[in-house]
Structure 1
């Protein structure tokens, strides 16, 4: 019996060690591209193409970062991305909260049809809508403006936001609504003063997802803008790829700087994000 227990403990210990090794290997696999990106950003462009290639820079330099910070054009890329991402996130949250509340708390003609339409829009590839969107944006005379990016991005962020908020509101008992109605509260008071504070994890999760999705959007940002002043960070990085040469250190520097806002938002909202992603899955 003692030998059997010792064998079980030994097996568990080996499994823990194996699991730890797998975690370390996975961490190295995930982190290596990020570390390589940063290391490349502090190399000179000539050292990047040197043979043999070195992982640790022979002489680290902040030349690429200085170029980015002293270029009004490159800083404009970050400003455009921030404006578009923030506007899309705020608008998506407002519409998603109202729509999610309506889908969760009310019965109306065509509810299932509208809900099905919202779900099906998630299955349409963004590139399939490129030509219709392009024609519509040109007809509205907002081509090469940030409004074009904001409106098109919302088409792809709203379905997820609505589904997310509907699921989260469904997890909140309707008895709370009845209690507020007894005190004379109307639908808007129920939604904004009671359900929204309770649903903060779901709202944060939706907002973080929306911000990241919009910040990283490339296809429509490239197609619906033509002037350098209207470009966003992903397109701005691509513009550093010249016909005959690539400015790799500046590309990596912009990639590092472009990753920081998303990383900070996720780290600050991680607790709410993880709670919001799972809370709406179970209906109370």
Structure 2
């Protein structure tokens, strides 16, 4: 091939790479706009009076800043109670899932015992059962334990869904850490728990953070069991509280969307702060060492 042909081939390859790169960015932009539009519209409606929400043609930006929906939410003690319940549930379930799940994952990762494979398979299988099929059995168990309409009944219920994931996630992450770390710590006099807390967990920080974020999101967003296992208004959570705002003869869109924004804000802020750890934790947790 002559120099001219080589130059022409190189130019064509550069154009093809540039075209593929542009198409990737266009596709990512379209997908991002599609995913972000419901959030943008939710914020927009929360800043409008209900009458302006149904104006034609629709307007994304409000005519003026309208904060009455947010004011009524913060002044209502019931809505503050819903937020408190959701925060309490999310924090307690996250702490218990990390504590129990990390210890179980450490056992699966570092020790071999009779029935370990069957136990691990059972933990994985629990994630395949649709949660809706467990509603009635859970209701009977919670009533029998006299935990109906209590925060601890919801904690126990959410823990059964979050704990298997915590075990699977942390087990996958701990498997990626070389056993040389354990041997070096043991030679220095560490006990098995010392190896876990002093050596492995600092290295497994991304896995811990990603697991914590998932369990918190599960507790924060869950609706079905929070509705079925509670009766009093004082025990309702944010998702159930939003559904209670649908009235028989009308709906205050600005108030409901304001509460939705307030309920979504902790989740969005939490994910934005730790997204780097979540991505690295999820990718590493899916690799077997």
1:20 equivalent in alignment to 2:54: no
Write the mapping of 1:44-55 to structure 2, written as runs, cut at 5 A: 44-55=49-60
Deviation at 1:8, TM superposition (A): 2.3
Equivalent residue number for residue 118 of structure 1: 123
Query: Partner residue of 2:86?
Result: 81
* Corresponding position of 1:204: 209
Q: How does 1:85-124 map to 2 (within 5 A)?
A: 85-124=90-129
Q: Which moved more, 1:20-29 or 1:119-128?
A: 20-29
Query: Which residues of structure 1 form unaligned runs of 5+?
Result: none
Shift of 1:25: 1.4
> How far apart are 1:178 and its partner, in Å?
1.8
1:45-194 equivalences in 2 (<5 Å):
45-194=50-199
Q: Please state how far the C-alpha of 1:118 moved relative to its aligned partner.
A: 0.5
Distance 1:52 1:153 in 2: 43
3-state secondary structure, aligned to 1:142: coil
Q: Structure 1 CA distance, aligned partners of 2:262 and 2:256?
A: 10
Shift of 1:111: 1.1
Q: Summarize deviations over 1:237-269 as a string: whole Å, max 9, x none.
A: 000001121121111111111111111111111
Q: How many residues align?
A: 284
Displaced runs of 4 or more, over 4 A: none
1:40 aligns with 2:54: no
How many angstroms apart in 1 are the aligned matches of 2:67 and 2:214?
Answer: 32
Is the counterpart of residue 256 in structure 1 residue 261 in structure 2? yes
Across the aligned residues of Structure 1 and Structure 2, the Cα RMSD in angstroms comes to 1.3
What is the alpha-carbon distance in structure 2 between the residues aligned to residue 72 and residue 173 of structure 1? Answer: 52
Q: Partners of 1:58 and 1:9 in 2: how far apart?
A: 48
| Shift in Å, 1:52 | 4.2
C-alpha separation between the residues in 2 aligned to 1:11 and 1:171? 38
Shift of residue 51 of structure 1? 4.1
Greater shift in the superposed pair: 245-254 or 84-93 = 245-254
* Cross-structure match for 2:246: 241
Secondary structure of 2:86's aligned partner: helix
CA deviation map 1:97-151 (0-9, x unaligned): 1000011111112111111110110011111111111011111111111111111
TM-score computed with the length of structure 2 as normaliser: 0.94
Alignment match, 1:273 = 278
| Alignment of 1:230 onto 2:235 | yes
TM superposition shift of 1:91: 0.3
List runs of 5+ in structure 2 lacking aligned partners: none
Q: 1:16 to 1:184 in 2, by over 3 A?
A: closer
Instruction: State how far apart, in whole Å, the 2-side matches of 1:69 and 1:119 are.
Output: 42
Task: Provide the secondary structure at the position in 2 that maps to 1:269.
Answer: helix
Match of 1:29 in 2: 34
Aligned equivalents of 1:232, 1:206: Cα separation in 2 = 22
* Residue equivalent to 2:221: 216
The 10-residue stretch of structure 1 (116-125 or 45-54) with the greater mean CA deviation from structure 2: 45-54
